[in-house]
Structure 1
Amino acid sequence: MSRAEAAPRGTAASPAVHTARLLGSELRVLFGRWRTWTMLAALAAVPVLIGLAVRFAPGRPPSGRGPAFLDQITDNGLFAGVVGLVVCTPLFLPLTVSVVSGDAVAGEASLGTLRYLLVAPVGRVRLLVVKYLSAAVFCAAAALAVVLGGAVIGALLFPLGQATLLSGAQVGAAEAFGRLLLMAAYVTVSLLGLAAIGLFASTLTSVPVGAMAATAVLAVVSQILGALDQLEWLHPWLFTNQWLGLADLLREPISWDSFGQNAWLQAGYVALFGALAYGRFATKDILA
Structure 2
Amino acid sequence: MSTAEKADTRAATGDPEAGTDAARRTPGLVPVAETMRTTERHPPEPSGAVPAGAGRPWAFWRLLGSELGLTFRRPRNLVMLAVLGAVPVIIGIALRVVASDGQMGGMIQDVAGNSLMLTFVSFSFLVLLLMPVAVSVVAGDSIAGEAGAGTLRYLLAAPAGRTRLLLVKYLNAVVFAYAVTAVVALSALLTGLILFPAGPVTLLSGTTVSVADGLLRILITVGYVGAAMAALAAIALALSTFTEVSIGAIAATLVLVIVCQVLRAIPELGSITPYLLPTRFTNFDAVLRSPIDTGALREGLLAFGAYIVLFGSIAWARFSGKDITS
What TM-score, normalized by structure 2, do the two folds share? 0.81
Give the corresponding residue for 2:80.
39
Query: Could you say which structure has the larger radius of gyration?
Result: 2
Deviation at 1:132, TM superposition (A): 0.6
**Does structure 1 residue 145 correspond to structure 2 residue 183?**
yes
CA distance in 1, matches of 2:184, 2:129: 13
Residue identity matched to 1:127: L
Percent identity of equivalent pairs: 43
Which residue of the partner structure matches residue 83 of structure 1?
121
- Structure 1 runs, 4 residues or longer, greater than 4 Å off: none
Cα distance in 2 between the residues matched to 1:70 and 1:190? 26
Query: Which of these residues, 139, 142, 145, is aligned with residue 104 of structure 1?
Result: 142
CA contact (8 A) 1:163 1:172 kept: yes
Per-residue deviation, residues 209-237 of structure 1 (Å, max 9, x unmatched): 11111101111111221222211221121
User: Counterpart in 2 of 1:53?
Assistant: 94
Structure 1 counterpart of 2:163, which letter?
Answer: V
Show the counterpart of 2:4: none
Shift of 1:94: 0.8
1:161 corresponds to = 199
Instruction: Give RMSD over aligned pairs.
Output: 1.6
For 1:5, the equivalent position in structure 2 comes to none
User: What's the TM-score, normalizing by structure 1?
Assistant: 0.91
Q: Give, as a single letter, the amino acid of the residue that structure 2 aligns with 1:278.
A: W
Q: For 1:54-203, list aligned pairs within 5 A.
A: 54-57=95-98, 58-64=100-106, 69-203=107-241
Asked if 1:237 is matched to 2:275, the reply is: yes
Task: Structure 2 unaligned segments of length 5 or more: list them.
Answer: 1-50
In the aligned structure 2, how far is the partner of 1:123 from the partner of 1:33?
Answer: 25
C-alpha distance in structure 2 between counterparts of 1:190 and 1:82, whole Å = 15
Letter in 2 for 1:55: R
Match of 2:71 in 1: 30
What's the CA shift string for 1:190-227, capped at 9, x where partnerless?
12221111001111111111111110111111122122
Are 1:43 and 1:146, in contact at CA under 8 Å, matched by a contact in 2?
A: yes
What one-letter code is carried by the residue in structure 2 that aligns with 1:30?
A: T
AA aligned opposite 1:23: L
Shift of 1:56: 2.3
1:158 is displaced (CA, Å) by 1.1
Counterpart-to-counterpart distance in 1, 2:279 and 2:176: 21
Residue identity opposite 2:101 in structure 1: G
Structure 1 residue 55 displacement after superposition:
1.5
Further displaced range: 17-26 or 260-269: 17-26
Greater share of helix residues, 1 or 2? 2
CA distance in structure 2 between the partners assigned to 1:272 and 1:237 by the alignment: 13
Return the alpha-carbon distance in structure 2 between the equivalents of residues 133 and 257 of structure 1: 27
Give 1:4's aligned residue: none
Q: Distance in 2 between matches of 1:54 and 1:249?
A: 22
Contact 1:189 1:262 in 2 (8 A): no
For residue 259 of structure 1, report the CA deviation from its aligned partner: 1.3
C-alpha distance in 2, partners of 1:209/1:78? 37
> How many equivalent residue pairs?
275
Distance 1:113 1:61, change over 3 A: farther
